[in-house]
A and B are shown apart, each in its own frame.
Chain A
Amino acid sequence: MSFVEYGDTIKDGDTAIVFLGHESMFPVKVQHGTVTQTKYGVIRHSTDLIGKKYGSKVTCSKGGWVFILHPTPELWTMNLPHRTQILYSTDISIITMMLELKPGSIVCESGTGSGSLSHALIRTVAPTGHLYTVEFHQQRAEKAREEFREHGLEHLVTVTNQDVCKNGFGVSNIADAVFLDIPSPWEAIGHAKSALKAEGGRICSFSPCIEQVQRTCLAMEEYGFTEINTLEILLRVYNVRTISLQIPDLGKAAEDNSSAGFDSSNPSNQGSPCAVLQQGTVQFKSGVPLREMVGHTGYLTFATKS
């Protein structure tokens, strides 16, 4: 197992994802002799996990079962221990595409935070690219280093513990892309420019507040960045439900209801998702938006150094 390579079977030392059910999972470090408690009972690593295929159903001690999944940056994002506010896959996906990342890309990032984006970036630039990530908080930098090591990624990433606004990224003229997720990104635009390759590259800055965006845009313009573009991406998730709606009783006889346009035996209505039930209701499948959704994570400002 590694975050940059699929493996078929679960091995000692792997990070695996225990999937209990809808939106209910947690990561586990596989170790001989270790046990993991779940609400369905105990999982014994040596007998229940090691040597099994990823994606298998594992029966726990109480007879309940869970699935064990191969880790991916996306699953990690949903399960990682938060040390800071993190970026989610919706933002990560547009960041990756708009920064034009691919295998071999050299990327600079600050701050490292909880490493949610870092894992996704490393996945994309492997096996020949590299991530230089800068985190000014010493413990967080240390923790990130440890995590990358545990996930078999240390050869693809360099974690530096310093203040990017004061000291930059510690590299110059080598990056294809720079990503900033810090409180005052406008103070790091100059450093970003010098980290980028002489022939150019892309930059992205993530900020929750529009005032931060304004200052960042001004700084980008000042440093000669072009194609400055700010956007926001929102994810809408739908629940798939079967909905029944009652047909109002307008005092007509029941068999006349068919003429109200709900005739399932009518050939023109064949294959329609609606089905008329006896009790005067119509059934159909619907994608129902969640009652609550994320309305705002942050603004993403992209630009080009050319």
Chain B
Amino acid sequence: GSRIREGDCAVLKRGDVFKAVPVLRRRKIIFEKQWFYLDNAIGHIYGTTFEVTNGGNLQPKQEVEETATETKEAGTDNRNIVDDGKSQKLTHDDIKALKDKGIKGQEIVQQLIENSTTFRDKTEFAQDKYIKKKKKKYEAIITIVKPSTRILSTMYYAREPGKINHLRYDTLAQMLTLGNIRAGNKMIVMETCAGLVLGAVMERMGGYGSIIQMYPGGGPVRAATSCFGFPKPFFDNLHEFPLSKVHSLLSGTFSTETLPSDPEEYALVEEESNGLTDEKQASLQETEEEPTTEGAMEINQTEEQETVDINAEDVEFKENKEKENKENVREKQIKQWERRKKLMEAAALLREKNADGLIVASKFHPTPLLSLLEFVAPSRPFVVYCQYKEPLLECYTKLRERGGVINLKLSETWLRNYQVLPDRSHPKLTMSGGGGYLLSGTTVVLDKGKCDSNNLETLKTEEPSPKRCKVQDLHC
């Protein structure tokens, strides 16, 4: 198995709660009301479970043989259990004292059980539940796992759904399958999901093939992408292209000459000369309409701190000799030239109009994004995500008018989790709504002359064209 290394992005897990953190020495981490340092975790295998000791250190949890308590006493029902609030003989202060002494969580739980007057009268199931609840509270255990689409999409949906347009993880799974994402594809991805969808696509492509990410504004946001910890080569064939240039590219008026003079682009170039990496920049550019109280990603917080430092250095820089200033300018020019070169590459890839698929998951209205289908080869899948159903209804209608697509499907998935225990199995919580909707289909060769086919039968089996929509409830 792979080992936890310094500088990795790891995911902390406690129960069903996840949190992505960078692995750094001597850095205090706060997770689920516990604080600790990750120093001792370095070198251990991913998937290891640790106990948090008193000084905030981690030590691998020893497998404890559950000592079966002899002759378990249990009641059959709760007819004689009265809630008088006095069943627990330990006071708050007693428990706090135990904790301060550094007594292990397991022992505290044992004490609580021994000092509960009603415990023995509870049914076996209720006793189980009681122990589980107390363990959760007093046992300081965390597992460190390797990031994956499964884990990061679950984490984002739970912690920061606003940042990913409420794209639930089962919906993301659908997108990857419906889009036939696999090694060797040439994919177009347009997303504003913090780079989570991009990361998911990259994981499925395993570094084979190419991706062109269409981005709005000054640059692509890849905060979540950086959590995956992809190896460097994965980024060799990742291109980006500004959405604002799509129209000019399609109409053939596109040129890169206009680029660096764009004020926002210029600002970006300037920022880059601060020596920030792409990913770090992305997290800085992230603007969120709704203020998030606690970022799921500690990573972002550190980055911002680091940036502040760099900026402070930058001020010193400016006070420094002109020589360095000149170097800065030259560096800037090199950066600009590189950016332009990358842009040209992306434009060339798009111009071939032979992409193997299109994935859209953004905060924008999806209909205008349909012009991206121009870049996709025939007989390829496309998937459009939207948090709401209505824009996709319009999208569907527009696609029908445009033609060049078949097999259109508007869908949604529901996910239901189950508790499975002997004699206690039942559905947990139903998740519905809020997972978003998908519009998927397949591209075909676009008829230049709109089909005036004598093939009425086919027309009947196809969805009606908008003109024929007056007939209610046509079979489509």
Write the residues of chain A forming the contact surface with B, with a CB cutoff of 8 angstroms. 4-6, 8, 19-22, 24, 39-40, 53-57, 63-65, 67-70, 72-74, 89-90, 92-94, 96-98, 100, 102-104, 120, 123-124, 126-128, 197, 199-200, 210, 213-214, 217-218, 228-244, 273, 285-287, 299, 301, 304, 306
Contacts and interface: CB of A to CB of B under 8 A. Distances in A.
7 contacts: A5-B184, A40-B457, A64-B458, A67-B379, A67-B444, A72-B180, A234-B414
A127 to B, nearest CB: 6
A21 B463 CA distance: 9
Contact of B411 (A72, A213, A235): A235
Interface in B389-442: 389-390, 392-394, 396-397, 406-407, 409-418, 420-422, 425, 437, 442
Contacts of A128: 206
Contacts of B470: 242
A64 B183 contact: no
A236 B393 contact: no
Contact of B393 (A55, A218, A287, A299): A287
B161 interface: no
Contacts of B48: 306
Nearest to A105: B206
B453 A233 contact: no
Nearest to A98: B150
Contacts, number: 212
Nearest to A241: B473
A6 B356 contact: yes
Interface of B: 1, 45, 47-48, 148-150, 153, 169-170, 172-174, 176-178, 180, 182-185, 203-208, 354, 356, 377-381, 389-390, 392-394, 396-397, 406-407, 409-418, 420-422, 425, 437, 442-445, 447, 453-455, 457-458, 461-463, 469-470, 472-474, 476
Contact of A123 (B150, B182, B390, B474): B182
Contact of B183 (A21, A127, A243): A127
- Residue among B178, B206, B409, B413 having the largest count of chain A Cβ atoms under 10 Å: B206
Contacts of B182: 4, 103, 123-124, 126
Given A8-B377, A19-B407, A213-B418, 13 more contacts: A54-B379, A55-B443, A57-B444, A93-B173, A93-B178, A97-B153, A103-B207, A126-B183, A199-B47, A236-B413, A241-B474, A285-B390, A304-B47
Nearest to A288: B473
Nearest to A60: B455
Given A57-B445, A230-B418, A240 B476 contact: yes
A79 to B, nearest CB: 12
A228 B419 CA distance: 10
A69 B379 CA distance: 5
Contacts of B379: 53-55, 67-70
Given A127-B183, A200-B47, A301-B420, A236 B414 contact: yes
A244 B172 CA distance: 34
Contacts of B47: 199-200, 304, 306
A89 B454 CA distance: 35
B150 A97 contact: yes
A89 B173 CA distance: 10
A64 B458 CA distance: 8
Which residue, B177, B180, B392, has most C-beta atoms of chain A within 10 A?
A: B177
Name which of A63, A200, A286, A287 has the most chain B CB atoms within 10 A of its CB.
A287
Nearest to A236: B412
Contacts of B416: 231-234
Contacts of B445: 53, 55-57
A89 B463 CA distance: 23
A65 B462 CA distance: 12
Nearest to A90: B413
A105 to B, nearest CB: 9
A244 B447 CA distance: 32
Contact of A74 (B180, B185, B356, B473): B180
A237 B411 contact: yes
Contact of A55 (B172, B378, B437): B378
